[in-house]
């Protein structure tokens, strides 16, 4: 992000009304390689190709905040690799990690990894070190420490169904697993901050939070997320594009100040549910409209969203989640034109 974009983000968080409304998108390996015409494996394994894809996106769309911007990652394998998960990297499909917990008793055997040396994490940091001067030469800075959340990682390690069953049948074991993962993540974020001094934001992504009822959220999610968002940071960004109606009202108490939801609720409903305490990084359906729709469909969706959202404070226009595969330059241009056109015609 540029200094200007960072300032705009901070201003929106403060509740300042922005005209025109800022636009932002979460981008990473599901979208960038295909958009640039390269295989996912090439994007993930080559510093130069990874950098070129991110550079091209930032310079093609200087009007957009790309979050986190120049994301050093290995897809969903990044954090599970540190725990010893076998990581599968197809040539041009999304990488994935195989689970390492095959029965509930193995939860007690999980040990906390060292983020400075284990799995793919040292390579994530090396890429950031290599890229930092190049990113800053473009007028951008690395702003966020990033990770998947503890519940997301737990499901990678033991399977989604198995984790949710264990949450009900072996709650003490699940707490032990979440304790280990959370302690690891706290050190991983701290290491990123120590490595890149320009970081002043925390980005955590965890859709599994949306699979829990409120009681389970308060017992299993709230305390661990609160620890992860405890460090001083100007931006505390959370992504959960699964249902959030029972949890969003607690996010501000966790320390979260920016939230990227899915599309289950309208922006008006989300504002009511959180008492307008969060900056919403939200908008149109990512797959069915932004990716699969025509430019005309995208334009119509953006205009309708703005017309249906009278209170546009604490709002950054986006899609409901990250940018999915197949989103074209034309559709992103249509999004921008519709957003700016709506501003021009707003009384």
pLDDT of residue 103: 87
Q: What are the b/e assignments for 252-286, b being 16+ CB within 10 Å?
A: bebbbbbbbbbbebebeebbebbebbbbbbbbbbb
Q: If you average pLDDT over residues 273-299, what whole number do you get?
A: 98
pLDDT of residue 22: 97
pLDDT of residue 211: 96
Q: If you average pLDDT over residues 184-193, what whole number do you get?
A: 98
Q: If you average pLDDT over residues 185-214, what whole number do you get?
A: 98
Q: If you average pLDDT over residues 52-57, what whole number do you get?
A: 98
Q: Could you tell me where the DSSP H helices lie in 30-170?
A: 32-36, 40-45, 47-60, 78-82, 121-137, 150-158, 160-169
Q: If you average pLDDT over residues 18-33, what whole number do you get?
A: 96
CB count in 10 Å sphere of residue 102? 10
Does the pLDDT value for residue 26 go beyond 90?
Answer: yes
Does the pLDDT value for residue 346 go beyond 50?
Answer: no
pTM given for the model? 0.96
Phi/psi at 205 (5° precision): -120, 125
Helix%, strand%, coil% for the chain, nearest 5:
50, 15, 35
CA distance 241 to 298: 19
pLDDT digit string (tens) for 35-47? Answer: 999 999 999 999 9
Band of the pLDDT at 344, cuts 50, 70, 90?
very low
Does the pLDDT value for residue 343 go beyond 60?
Answer: no
Domains and CATH numbers, the chain: 3-344 (3.20.20.210)
CA distance 224 to 243: 19
pLDDT digit string (tens) for 241-253? Answer: 999 999 999 999 9
Q: If you average pLDDT over residues 183-194, what whole number do you get?
A: 98
Asked if 331 and 298 touch (Cβ cutoff 8 Å), the reply is: yes
Strands 258-261 and 279-284: parallel
């Amino acid at each position: 992000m540029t200094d200007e974009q960072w300032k705009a983000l901070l201003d929106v968080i403060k509740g300042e009304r922005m005209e025109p409304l800022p636009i932002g998108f979460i981008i990473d390996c599901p979208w960038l390689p295909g958009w640039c015409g390269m295989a996912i494996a090439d994007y993930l394994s080559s510093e130069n190709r990874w950098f070129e894809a991110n550079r091209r996106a930032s310079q093609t769309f200087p009007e957009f905040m790309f979050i986190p911007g120049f994301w050093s990652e290995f897809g969903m394998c990044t954090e599970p690799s540190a725990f010893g998960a076998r990581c599968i990297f197809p040539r041009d499909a999304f990488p994935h990690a195989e689970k390492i917990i095959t029965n509930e008793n193995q939860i007690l055997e999980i040990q906390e990894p060292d983020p400075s040396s284990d799995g793919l994490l040292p390579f994530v940091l090396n890429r950031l070190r290599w890229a930092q001067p190049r990113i800053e030469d473009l007028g951008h800075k690395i702003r966020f420490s990033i990770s998947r959340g503890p519940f997301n990682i737990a499901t990678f390690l033991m399977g989604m169904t198995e984790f949710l069953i264990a949450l009900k049948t072996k709650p003490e074991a699940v707490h032990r697993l979440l304790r280990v993962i959370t302690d690891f993540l706290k050190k991983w974020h701290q290491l990123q901050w120590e490595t890149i001094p320009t970081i002043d934001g925390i980005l955590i992504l965890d859709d599994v939070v949306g699979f829990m009822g409120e009681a389970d959220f308060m017992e299993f999610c709230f305390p661990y997320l609160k620890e992860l968002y405890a460090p001083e940071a100007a931006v505390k960004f959370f992504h959960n594009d699964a249902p959030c109606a029972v949890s969003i009202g607690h996010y501000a108490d966790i320390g979260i100040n920016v939230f990227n939801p899915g599309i289950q609720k309208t922006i008006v409903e989300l504002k009511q549910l959180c008492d307008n305490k969060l900056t919403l990084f939200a908008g149109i359906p990512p797959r069915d409209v932004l990716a699969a729709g025509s430019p005309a469909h995208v334009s119509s969706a953006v205009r309708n969203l703005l017309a249906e959202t009278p209170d546009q404070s604490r709002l950054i226009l986006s899609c409901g989640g990250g940018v999915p595969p197949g989103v074209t330059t034309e559709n992103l241009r249509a999004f921008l034109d519709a957003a700016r056109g709506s501003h021009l015609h707003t009384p």
